[in-house]
């Protein structure tokens, strides 16, 4: 019964949301005119820029080639070995920026460097570093190493993350998706803050880009207690539907509050939604979910192939209609390096493809009290864990 219930939750939710969006976008794009598409996005801001069909490119559309030289600057990109992270590294590296690739897997990180070199990024600009955001110890150790070795971080791109996963706790006792997608980022920034601040003071500015998503519109809320954070163990079906969405709302609230806290400095903090991207992230989510399903007692053997089949079909829809990784990376690249960010004093905003401002985030994302309460909870959480 538990196996059937869990499989049903996967099928109904994943098909009903992301894949439905992909199919709808394709049909609408083929059957309607540009004004209709624009009206649709205006009425439903969660779909703004979500797929290429919704974006009309022209001479004013941001491109990486329009960036000035970034020589002498350093970017730290988490999850830089695949997908959007890898493409972000490519765009910035081609402009002369030194890139620290923070990856969970050293071998994959080295393969990413080889790939970037083939794509025209000088090898001497690329630095591999080990970071597991699902471990507080790994995150703290990584930050300590960066503080001892690096002289500047001009752009911190918090890109790494995981998709929806069955409920499980990390070694630190934190729900896995929330830990990887939010708590790790929160601790990483706090630990690197002295270096980012000194970069802004000595070199005129620094950037922080937090990868969020339009999935934040569907989040019920964010946790403000440990019990709420780990409550998915009591209702695993609801957890699977909500965990990723909650983490993306968490990313947006974190970015907005950090932007307020740095508003009197030259640190510019913003959030980016890359859109539905045809990347290896989708493949990884399929494989990770299937592997986790295997570990569920009694029903794991049945759940694993079901999850893999359903999510595999979902991935196929995204791969057919979504943004390429290079295009999906353009919005975080814009926020990380475009002179317009400092010129126009862009802070605490939510940008969608390609480098478009979406001012109509969800009501929860605009809740100032929730924003501050959530920061306070995140701060208490890492402090209680000894960091």
Please confirm whether the linkage preceding 312 is cis (ω < 30° from 0). no
DSSP 302: H
Residues annotated as catalytic are 244
Rounded CA-CA distance 59/9 in Å is 44
- Helical segments of 15-105, H only: 20-31, 34-43, 83-94
CA distance linking residue 66 with residue 343, whole number of Å = 15
Rounded CA separation 361/347 (Å): 15
Q: Are 175 and 375 in contact (CB under 8 A)?
A: no
Sheet holding 206-211, edge to edge: 126-130, 98-103, 74-78, 155-158, 206-211, 267-272, 350-352, 356-357
**Tokens at 232, concatenated:** 């998915």
DSSP state of 224: S
The vertex-69 CA angle with 68 and 75, nearest 5°, equals 105
For tokens 């911190």, what's the residue? 156
Please, are residues 330 and 277 in contact by the beta-carbon 8 Å criterion?
no
| Number of neighbours of residue 58 by Cβ within 10 angstroms | 6
CA distance 375 to 260: 12
The continuous run of DSSP H or E covering 216 comes out as none
Q: What is the largest CA-CA distance in the chain?
A: 61
Q: Rounded to the nearest 5°, which phi and psi values hold at 356? A: -105, 140
Whether residue 258 contacts residue 208, with contact meaning beta carbons closer than 8 Å, is answered with: yes
Residues 242 and 320 sit within 8 Å (Cβ to Cβ): no
Contacts of residue 336, defined as CB under 8 A and 6 or more positions apart, other chains included, come to: 75, 88, 92, 155, 157, 207, 209
The single-letter DSSP state of residue 128 is E
Bridge-based pairing of strands 74-78 and 98-103 is: parallel
């Amino acid at each position: 019964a538990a196996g059937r219930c869990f499989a049903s939750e996967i099928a109904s939710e994943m098909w009903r949301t992301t894949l439905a969006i992909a199919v709808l976008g394709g049909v609408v794009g083929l059957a309607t005119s540009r004004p209709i598409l624009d009206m649709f996005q205006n009425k439903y801001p969660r779909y703004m820029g979500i797929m290429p069909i919704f974006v009309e490119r022209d001479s004013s559309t941001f491109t990486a080639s329009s960036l000035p030289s970034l020589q002498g600057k350093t970017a730290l990109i988490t999850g830089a070995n695949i997908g959007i992270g890898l493409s972000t590294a490519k765009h910035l590296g081609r402009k002369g920026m030194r890139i620290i690739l923070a990856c969970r897997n050293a071998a994959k990180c080295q393969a990413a460097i080889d790939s970037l070199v083939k794509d025209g990024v000088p090898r001497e600009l690329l630095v591999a570093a080990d970071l597991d955001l699902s471990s507080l110890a790994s995150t703290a150790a990584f930050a300590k190493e960066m503080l001892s070795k690096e002289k500047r971080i001009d752009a911190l791109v918090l890109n790494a993350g995981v998709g929806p996963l069955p409920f499980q706790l990390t070694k630190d006792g934190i729900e896995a998706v929330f830990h990887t997608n939010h708590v790790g980022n929160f601790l990483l920034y706090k630990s690197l803050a002295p270096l980012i601040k000194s970069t802004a003071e000595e070199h005129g500015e620094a950037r922080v880009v937090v990868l969020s998503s339009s999935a934040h519109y569907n989040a019920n809320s964010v946790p403000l207690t440990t019990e709420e954070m780990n409550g998915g163990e009591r209702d695993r079906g609801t957890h699977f539907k909500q965990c990723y969405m909650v983490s993306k709302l968490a990313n947006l609230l974190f970015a907005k509050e950090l932007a307020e806290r740095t508003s009197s400095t030259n640190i510019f903090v913003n959030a980016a939604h890359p859109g539905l991207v045809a990347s290896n992230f989708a493949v990884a989510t399929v494989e990770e979910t299937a592997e986790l399903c295997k570990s569920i007692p009694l029903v794991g053997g049945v759940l694993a192939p079901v999850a893999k089949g359903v999510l595999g079909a979902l991935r196929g829809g995204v791969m057919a209609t979504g943004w390429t990784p290079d295009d999906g990376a353009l919005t975080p690249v814009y926020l990380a390096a475009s002179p317009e960010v400092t010129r126009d004093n862009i802070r605490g905003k939510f940008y969608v493809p390609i480098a478009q401002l979406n001012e109509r985030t969800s009501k929860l994302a605009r809740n100032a009290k929730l924003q501050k309460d959530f920061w306070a909870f995140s701060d208490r959480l890492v402090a209680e864990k000894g960091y």
